[in-house]
């Protein structure tokens, strides 16, 4: 089998999250993954944490995990990546959601994914083309202000990658969405660093084959 033939039928992808992150599948095995994260968080409670408050902390963590999973599933997510260990004592307010493949009609019957990406780039602020495992992808970045009326409770920085699946019929695309909650008065450089972290994670993207 030649390299070109090998690359015609990816059946998935691999993404390497940073150390201290956990992966939550959103189709099967979700409860087992979230229970593991809650147990790990409870085990990491600081010394001196009141023993009588542990059940309350466990319940709160479980409820928070359910909310995060619900939001990811509402976006069509199939995999959720979360930092579950603090960095220099700071809990990173970020997440990555990989969405299930979606079909996108071609711009013209004789066009391909490149034309679709170009059309999307023309109407997407902050969009640019990046290569992921030899596949042209569209990257966009924007700040999303808080707007409770639109269901956005907290302002956040959002970065998205839109990736065509090679030689899929009909044309299918994967979406990867990074979100970092923005605290009022926080240093913008901090969020730039978080975005760089996400871009580095996307740099580990590789197609997988049967």
Domains of the chain, with CATH numbers? Answer: 20-87 (no CATH), 93-205 (3.40.1000)
> Half-sphere exposure of 169 toward its Cβ, with a 13 Å CA cutoff?
4
d(CA 105, CA 89): 46
If pLDDT is split at 50, 70 and 90, which confidence band does 5 have? very low
The predicted pLDDT at position 96 comes to: 97
CA pair distance 98, 80, nearest whole angstrom: 6
**Considering the chain, what is the average pLDDT of its residues?**
88
**How do residues 57-88 score in pLDDT, each as one tens digit?**
999 999 999 999 998 999 899 999 999 988 87
47 or 163, which is more confident: 163
6, pLDDT greater than 80: no
Q: How far apart are CA 120 and CA 124, in angstroms?
A: 6
**CB within 8 A of 195, min separation 6: which ones?**
141, 157, 159, 178, 180
Q: At what angle do helices 54-74 and 30-43 cross, to 10 degrees?
A: 140
Burial of 48 (0-12, 13-18, 19+ CB in 10 A): exposed
pLDDT above 70 (res 173): yes
pLDDT (tens digit, 9 = 90+) per residue, 107-155?
A: 777 778 888 999 999 999 889 999 999 999 999 999 888 766 655 667 8
């Amino acid at each position: 089998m030649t390299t070109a033939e090998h690359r015609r039928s990816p059946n998935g992808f691999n993404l390497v999250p940073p150390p201290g992150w956990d992966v939550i599948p959103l189709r099967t095995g979700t409860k087992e993954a979230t229970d593991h994260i809650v147990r790990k968080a409870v085990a990491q409670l600081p010394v001196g944490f009141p023993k009588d408050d542990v059940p309350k902390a466990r319940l709160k963590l479980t409820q928070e995990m359910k909310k995060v999973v619900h939001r990811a599933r509402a976006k069509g997510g199939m995999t959720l990546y979360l930092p579950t260990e603090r960095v220099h004592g700071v809990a990173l307010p970020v997440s990555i959601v990989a969405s299930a493949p979606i079909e996108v009609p071609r711009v013209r019957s004789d066009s391909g994914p490149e034309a679709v990406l170009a059309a999307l780039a023309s109407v997407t602020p902050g969009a640019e083309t990046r290569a992921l495992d030899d596949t042209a992808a569209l990257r966009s970045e924007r700040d999303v202000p808080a707007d409770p009326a639109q269901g956005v409770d907290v302002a956040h920085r959002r970065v998205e990658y839109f990736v065509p699946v090679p030689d899929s019929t009909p044309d299918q695309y994967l979406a990867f969405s990074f979100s970092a909650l923005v605290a009022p008065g926080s240093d913008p450089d901090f969020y730039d660093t978080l975005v760089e972290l996400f871009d580095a994670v996307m740099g580990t993207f590789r197609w997988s084959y049967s």
